[in-house]
Amino acid sequence: MIKVYVIYPNNDDVIFDFDYYCNKHVPMIGELLGDALKGATVDAGLTSVVPGEAAAYVAISTISFESIESFQTAFGPNAEKIKADVPNFTNTVPTIQLCEQKI
């Protein structure tokens, strides 16, 4: 199992529309990636461990796949459509990282 983390940095100027993201963007990804997608979660940043300090990330999404190959096969042909939708919900540029689940 691999997980793809889409991490949206936070700062004072960040706009993030969770309603759009959760109700339009994530379902669109599900439709585009089909059976290759094994699961998805969306976490909203609340705060850092320092009281009163903002969370480092406004949102972190996790999408799961059986393998890197299944991710690449499903994502590759849809990458431009998925990226083109980002300005509809945020003005921050996400970092994307693939990880292998160990536990």
Give the model confidence (pLDDT) of 11-42 as tens digits: 999 999 999 999 999 999 999 999 999 999 99
Q: Report whether pLDDT(101) > 90.
A: no
In the block, residue with structure tokens 């997608």:
37
Among 69, 103, 89, 93, which Cα is nearest to 29's?
89
Q: Which pLDDT band, with edges at 50, 70 and 90, does 100 fall under?
A: very high
pTM of the prediction?
Answer: 0.93
pLDDT, tens digit, for every residue of 36-89? 999 999 999 999 999 999 999 999 999 999 999 999 999 999 999 999 999 999
Nearest to 67 by CA among 17, 4, 16, 8: 4
Q: Which domains does the chain possess?
A: 2-100 (3.30.70.100)
Cα separation, 33 vs 70, whole angstroms: 10
Mean pLDDT of 78-103: 96
CA angle (55, 91, 38) in 5-degree steps: 75
